[in-house]
Structure 1
Amino acid sequence: MSIEQQLEEFARRVIDSHGFRFNEGFACLIPDIEPFSTDEGLFLWGYSEKRKRFETKIEKFHTSSRIGRMEQMVKVPEKEYKKILASSIQSYLKALKGLGFNDIGKGVNLFGSKTKIYNVQGDTKLFENNLEALKEFEKIILDNPILKFAEDLGYFEVKNRDQLVFDSVFGARSEPQVKKPVKKVAVKKEKAQKPRLLSSTPLADKLKKIAASQPDSSLDGEAKRTAWSKQVNGLYKSVQSWLSAHAKSGYISFDINPIKLAEENLG
């Protein structure tokens, strides 16, 4: 579907979804209420199928028939209507220009003002590469001083204000994913550690202590037996000390029985 076809579809659905009325083939207006014709009303914008653009027609607000209709329909005096609508229309046009709409036509002396006010238009070039502007346009349609004027008088209420037509026509367009460059992390090269000498390790220290506690191999058999006997007795005392609490509680008891052993070189 081309951008022109999308804009046309968008325009039709905005009018239908939010409770506005078609007029003059393809225009969005706040409809009058019965007994007056609902095909007439306050003109917000029209979509020109020939020029493929949205455009305002502010001259429709200051005709004698429109002023008379508002006084008959909702009892708004001419003076008050002109005062409210003059500022409301200018605020509405300013919001549209903020989106990128630009002036068209020869200008209108609105309500007899000496200063001309110009209609504005937004064409396909405006929205072709900036669909978000079209979404903002719909938000302005649903929230502007002219619409508020009609709602405050109680004769019109927007439908589906929180459900934008833009989302259903164009959908949520995901942005292309950009591959982020992978940062290379510098790896620090650790210096090769020199092999530690066995003599400086905790294990070496432990082995030294064990070796020092062993009986001197130069001792004779009797001396060796004496040394071993001291070590065995020391072991017994250590075990009894560790288990003394359980022995006092009566859970265990110690009983030492002599056993004859015959060891080479010891007898």
Structure 2
Amino acid sequence: MKDSFQNRWFIIFTAAFSVLAFLLAYVGTRDLGFYEISGFGRTTASLINLVLMLIPLMGLMLGSITISAEREKGTLHYLLSHPISKKEIFVGKYAGLIFSLIFTITIGFALGGIAIFFKSGTSDIGKYLLDLLITLILASCVLSIGMLISVCTKKISKSIGIAIFVWFFLIILSDLGIIGSVILFNLGIEPTFLISLLNPTEVYKILSVLVLSSRFEILGPVGIYILNTFGRLGSLAMLTGVLIVWSAAPLLGAYLHFCRYKREEV
């Protein structure tokens, strides 16, 4: 965790997310006046877009360099020469990064929440806190993907390049790909929904809308399909489960690959 706090990327992302989250608490809505604070519900809706842009990038970047940086510098070989298992090294790296992300996200949400509380009270604070929890799960998803990238590369530049591409794909290319697939292959609602589950940021987006509103029409036919098929509570449980799988699967893959490292490969 100490290494994360000394990482310039971590400092930049933490400062950016905290400042922007606080500002969104002021300019999230103009219903109450030019510089007034919006309620928790509206601010949560505004934070979704901020989370989708910054948190995946932060998790991917930090995760992608955690092992590859050690390999490039030769310090991983040094660590493995000590009486410490690969499991302990991997778990220690992951624990330090996930707690750092929790710190960053909590600080950002707390700053916005405090500002809203003193201006608008506690209206919709439950939704705000629930979205904080969902955001933490999303952070664990992208961190796991980042660590998978890291254990598969030996150079920092390569791991960062792959991480940026994955971020670009998840945030931008994925939506375009889904739209293109629907048009090109004339996909129905169910296949479109299943495709969207292949992107954790899409799952987060759908889950956040479920938290904020029971009206899934906002998401179009796919949203109505989800609500009719699983119900509100069922949809919440199912989508949360998908995010947990997205957290566990890449992390397990990264761990198994890391445990196969041979001394001469490090």
Same fold by TM-score, threshold 0.5 exceeded? no
Structure with more helix by fraction: 2
Query: Shorter-normalised TM-score: what interval?
Result: under 0.3
The answer to which structure, 1 or 2, has the higher relative contact order (CA under 8 A, 6+ apart) is 2
Question: Normalized against structure 2, the TM-score is what?
Answer: 0.27
Question: Normalized against structure 1, the TM-score is what?
Answer: 0.26
